[in-house]
A and B are shown apart, each in its own frame.
Chain A
């Protein structure tokens, strides 16, 4: 019996070691990756500096297309951020046992994606040093933000989401930080000791922690829904043809979840490969995420169809004009969006073999996000190009500054994520181990059953 227990303890030690492998000292490959990502981010910072010193004239945005790549990126990154916390919250509330290995990756994605998203309105306004006008501060000019504007709702919602999702991520990491603390030495130990806050894993701490996790999950889901609804209202509250639609909020929320779930799948594949987590991120996890992606793809397709059907049936001249213009001028992008988001994804994900293939899932998840970026472009640019007054019709193509900043956003996100994975456990150690404990076998009568807790 003691030998058996010793073996069990050794297994747990090995598991800790394996799951914390990401926080080992950096390898040459890691440093190279960080330098490349840092260089791309640095180039984007230079492009932004050029814009700051020269003015918005260096960007492709013009009259009438005053919202371009910056706002497309903003909507796209808010969308990506959406699913991390929301999926995590929903899976926690529904006690889906398979959630455990993917929670941390999803929650971290939210925090970094929303941070990247929050940069874009600051870049878009051009005179970034005037951004404090958005904050309710007494000033000599008697200016005060106008809360009737959806842009102010956005500012409030995004700040709520950044703070909320950061706290949600921290809450999930608290027991794991204690594990890292116990394995660290020197300055690292001091830092993790402060971060772990003196967590010992007492029965009292676990009891309160469980209740707090449930409450936080219940609070963060409606916040996530509100954030992307409010982003949609930035558009829908205007009278721009193609934007002024009641369906925009649910359509945006479904789109955000769609791209967010796809991004979680992409990250799962990368983390699995990079940190050799094949044992924890198994085919069944990709299968379940594939089912989730399939359902959201169906919802997105349904809402898109409802929107197009309403425009087509009503045939209001200006709305129809915008639609025809989009279909004519941007036919390739429109086709790509519909194919990638619906006609390829839905049939493919119906097959179990596809959902269980890590390579195919990586391809589908990247395809979905390319198509969702395209969808953001099609939502923003064509309606502005072709508004009510024909003598103000125009075109838009992004400049090198906008393209550089877009590339820098992706690299910056990847860099933040890479750094996070180097300093914090990227797989929720406690959650995974709890799941394994619950899979222990219990002998009842003549059968042996899993010792799962009720609801799991």
Chain B
């Protein structure tokens, strides 16, 4: 279950988060929702370490291998003898290797980012379109209806202008 409280500004949203933490709601269940990035620590202090850059690197390595195999493999399979020049010409192979490495690294970045963001996600989650008009959402994950009611109460007392749950969205 997910409860979403809508706040008019960062200050009241931060106050809401403080009140939630004060009532022993674990911080890793609390998330902020906003239409522009909020400086780290102003509402949620949790750090989101990214690992998707390793997917970028892996994409680059796989791409380099694919490019090398394509260009060098082609030369090996369909040899063109030109004077005393080597069959595998390093500069052209290097260029194809580079282009493939960059392409796969780019694809890896996007795929890795989306994977770590857990997108695409089309299941209904607690959300309010008012967030795109500048409101700040504070969303809390909970397990039971009692917890949901408790969290709703805290958010309400903290000045949330509206409270929604994922059940309502569904």
Contact = CB atoms under 8 A, between A and B. Distances in A.
Contacts of B119: 197-199, 205
Contacts of B95: 153, 156-157, 226, 230
Given A147-B74, A153-B95, A175-B35, A219 B121 contact: no
Contacts of B102: 160, 164, 219, 222-223, 226
Nearest to A14: B133
A388 interface: no
A201 B33 contact: yes
Given A136-B70, A216-B106, A203 B43 contact: yes
A200 interface: yes
A357 interface: no
A203 B44 contact: yes
Q: Interface residue tally of chain B, by bracket?
A: 35 or more
B129 interface: yes
A427 to B, nearest CB: 14
Interface stretch (A50-58, A176-184, A399-407, A415-423): A176-184
B21 interface: no
B121 A434 contact: no
B40 to A, nearest CB: 7
Contacts of A351: none
Contacts of B116: 208
Interface string A333-358: 00000000000000000000000000
Contact of B103 (A5, A142, A159): A159
Interface of A, helix, strand, loop or mixed by DSSP: helix
A16 B89 CA distance: 55
A437 interface: yes
Given A179-B35, A208-B117, A171 B70 contact: no
A204 B37 contact: no
Interface string A87-116: 000000000000000000000000000000
B34 interface: yes
Given A9-B8, A216-B109, A434 B93 contact: no
B22 interface: no
A235 B70 CA distance: 24
Interface string A189-216: 0000110011111111111111110011
Contacts of A273: none
Contacts of B48: 203-204, 207-208
Given A142-B78, A164-B103, A200 B33 contact: yes
Interface in B104-133: 105-107, 109-110, 113-114, 116-117, 119-123, 125, 127, 129, 131-133
A163 B9 CA distance: 39
A207 B50 contact: yes
Nearest to B75: A147
B96 A156 contact: yes
A157 B99 contact: yes
A136 B70 CA distance: 9
Interface string B73-112: 0110110100000000100110110111011011101100
Contacts of A315: none
A8 interface: yes
A233 to B, nearest CB: 8
B71 interface: yes
A144 interface: yes
A31 interface: no
Contacts of B31: 202-204
B139 A9 contact: no
A163 B102 CA distance: 11
Given A156-B99, A182-B129, A2 B80 contact: no
Nearest to B8: A5
Contacts of B132: 16, 178-179, 182-183
Contacts of B56: 215, 219
Contacts of A2: 8
A208 B52 contact: yes
B37 A434 contact: yes
A187 B34 CA distance: 25
A211 B50 contact: yes
Contacts of A13: 133-134
Given A160-B99, A215-B53, A219-B105, A202 B139 contact: yes
Given A13-B133, A198-B119, A202-B31, A147 B93 contact: yes
Given A178-B132, A207-B37, 17 more contacts: A9-B8, A136-B74, A148-B75, A153-B96, A156-B67, A156-B96, A160-B99, A197-B114, A200-B33, A203-B48, A205-B119, A210-B37, A211-B53, A216-B106, A219-B106, A220-B106, A434-B37
Q: Shortest 10 CB-CB distances between A and B: which pairs? A: A198-B121, A182-B129, A197-B120, A12-B134, A212-B113, A207-B48, A206-B37, A5-B8, A160-B103, A147-B71
27 contacts: A8-B9, A8-B134, A142-B78, A144-B78, A145-B74, A146-B74, A152-B92, A156-B95, A156-B96, A170-B110, A179-B35, A182-B131, A183-B129, A197-B119, A197-B120, A197-B121, A201-B34, A202-B139, A203-B31, A203-B38, A203-B48, A204-B117, A205-B119, A208-B48, A208-B117, A212-B52, A222-B102
